[in-house]
Structure 1
Amino acid sequence: PKQGGLRMQHIISTVYELTKGKAIVTTDVGQHQMWVAQFYKADYPRQFISSGGAGTMGFGLPSAIGAAIGVSSELNWPICCFAGDGGFQMTEFELSTAALHKLPIKIFVMDNKYLGMVRQWQDMFYGKRYSSVSMEGNPDFVKLAEAYGIRAFRIKRSADAERIIQKALEYNEGPVLIHCECEEEDNVFPMIPAGAPLTAMMTEPPKGQLEKPTGST
């Protein structure tokens, strides 16, 4: 990653620090989901809401809406949704539901302009022969949120992350969307190639191209 570039890990760890670990966290599916599990340290029951290995893209925003409606107001914790740019667009129309009900959810759109997890596999196992993973047609997510009457912020540099995230956390008059323009080709570790045993876990980038995963086509 380039120096000063915005990384998803930094966004997530900053949210953890500013909320002091007391937030209801929902995720979509992909690299950001793995990083949320690593960098938002869930210390309380029913705090981390994710579709897990079911891989339900589009899960993040609707589950945040459900949490906002279902969680007791006495808890008074922020509800933070972390969604990738791909999965978010599968259910982004639910922004209207959040806006109509003035639900104070914080929506972090982690935009790396790729279907990141699929790109990572094509990077490692297929010699970067990328196919159907580019999201270069993404909208301006700030303008998209504003079209629904939702407050929105943009983060491009890691130096701005804490200041902007703090402003988003303090806004509770309705939903707020934070468009995080992240590093495009960052890879998540550890990972286990498909069909491989736990002993084959990878904790760092390979030196060269790997053989394609067992059972893949």
Structure 2
Amino acid sequence: MKISDSDEKYKQVDTYAQNKAKKWLESYIKEINMINGNTPKIISNHGYAYKRTYKEAQKRGREMLSKKIGNIYEALQGDCINYEYFICGDPISRIWENLVKYIETIKREELDIKKPKRIEILISPDIESSICSNLMKHIDSVRKIAIKYNPFFCKLVYYMRYKEHIKITDKIGSLETMRKKEIISEEPTLPYISEADQLILESFQKTWDDSVNKFYTSCKVKMY
């Protein structure tokens, strides 16, 4: 009986110590955040504000690309294709996934199928293989352009965040709450896109458009 009481006593002491350590850690994190000007409310606001600035950076990036290379900007920063797909681990899977989503959107509107009703887009393996094979031919060449575009876009996002901190300091904190390397006070300059690069993007854009048409005319819709 004494052994059992002793075990229970040590268990209680251990639980107390763990709770004490947890409270200390939470208090320490809160104190550090307060020193940096990051209250819990500000940290929460960061999430919403930074999502908004990312979208604004995308919009501005498209505007700058459009002025320089016209409609082929969609191959880098369009509604269906994002340059980030080309520098991820599996570009063709990301592009194919977005192609399916795009066709699903078109079919929903065309057939007036409202959510939450589920639909499945069916395509034959041969057609899928053909489309992916054609798109795959462009991956390496577009990736080189995407890699050059990436640092610019990251700076553009930081610039949008900088403007947001100036605009709503009381909600998301002052500039001092930002990392020094992320404080970009001037809009970055779009990287040079050569005529050869433009031809590469134009070629990919044409293949994408052909893929959309081929998928659209070959697929079937299954409703649940």
Scaled by the length of structure 2, what TM-score is found?
0.24
More helix by share: 2
* Bigger relative CO (Cα 8 Å, ≥ 6 apart): 2
More strand by share: 1
Scaled by the length of structure 1, what TM-score is found?
0.24
